[in-house]
Structure 1
Amino acid sequence: MTMAEHAFTHLAAWPDLTEVAPSCGTGRALATAHREIVHFHSDREVDLHLTLRAVRRFEDHLAAARAVRMAPGSPWVTVRLDTVADVHLLTTLVTLALQSHQARPVAEGAPDGPCTGHRSGVRPSGQFSGG
């Protein structure tokens, strides 16, 4: 089982998250009742919708994390899953994302920009297939 499959299985069991088709069309996604939160694009890369407010608030910490990539002006961050510690970081960031979205809900259907993987147009060679 890859790190992404392990993370997906763990997060899909959370009561606040449901598997949905990713709006970017690549991989698998988890969403709350109103918003996509996590896109699993490959066996190693996951995009996470934190909100712009959360990205700004924790920007220094996110930038210091070796597994995290940010795109300027995007509410999405990419987490590279190479180790168990990266999966733990993703889990923590998903908790932060859920709290951020609950603290300041956005109207359903409101634009929040494409996920980071979609924005960059870069796709890893191996696609996350799930299990």
Structure 2
Amino acid sequence: MTLAQRAFERLHAWPDLSTGPASCGTGRALRSARDEIVHFHSDRDVDLHLTHRAIQRFRQDLGGSSAIHLVPGSRWVTVHLDCDADVDLLLSLVSIALKAHQTPPAADLPPGCNFRRVTVLPRAAAGEV
């Protein structure tokens, strides 16, 4: 079982999430009653729909993780799953996303996840010059 499959199975059991196709057309999604929250695009790459406010609040922490990739202007963050700790991080961030989506967004930003907007390099290669 891949890390993405393991994360999907764990999140699928959460009562506040339901499954369906990702609106971007690639992969599966988990959604709350209001919004799509998670897109599973591959065995390792997951897009998580945070609000602008949540991204701003946690920007420094998100930017400090080698598993997280931010795209300027996007309400989505890409999580690259390389180990079990990354799955745990994703689950924690989904909890934050669910809480953040309980209130209407403060600003109307462009729709769509980060699929095809993020290139993830393996961690070993990311530090090489």
TM-score, normalising length: structure 1 = 0.84
Any unmatched runs of 5+ in structure 2?
121-129
Distance 2:84 2:50 in 1: 21
State the percentage of identical aligned residues: 53
The answer as to whether partners of 2:74 and 2:109 remain within 8 angstroms in 1 is no
Spell out the pairing of 1:1-131 with structure 2 (5 A cutoff).
1-102=1-102, 104-106=103-105, 113-118=111-116, 120=117
The answer as to whether partners of 2:73 and 2:109 remain within 8 angstroms in 1 is no
TM-score, normalising length: structure 2 = 0.86
Any unmatched runs of 5+ in structure 1?
124-131
Higher RCO structure, 1 or 2 (CA under 8 Å, sep 6+) = 1
Q: Deviations over 1:38-65 (max 9, x none)?
A: 0000000000001111001100000001
CA RMSD of aligned residues (A): 1.8
Structure 1's consecutive aligned runs of 4 or more residues displaced over 3 angstroms after TM superposition are none
1:54–1:26: structure 2 CA closer, same or farther, 3 Å change rule? Answer: same
Kindly state the Cα deviation for residue 113 of structure 1 after the two structures are TM-superposed.
1.2
Kindly state the Cα deviation for residue 20 of structure 1 after the two structures are TM-superposed.
1.4
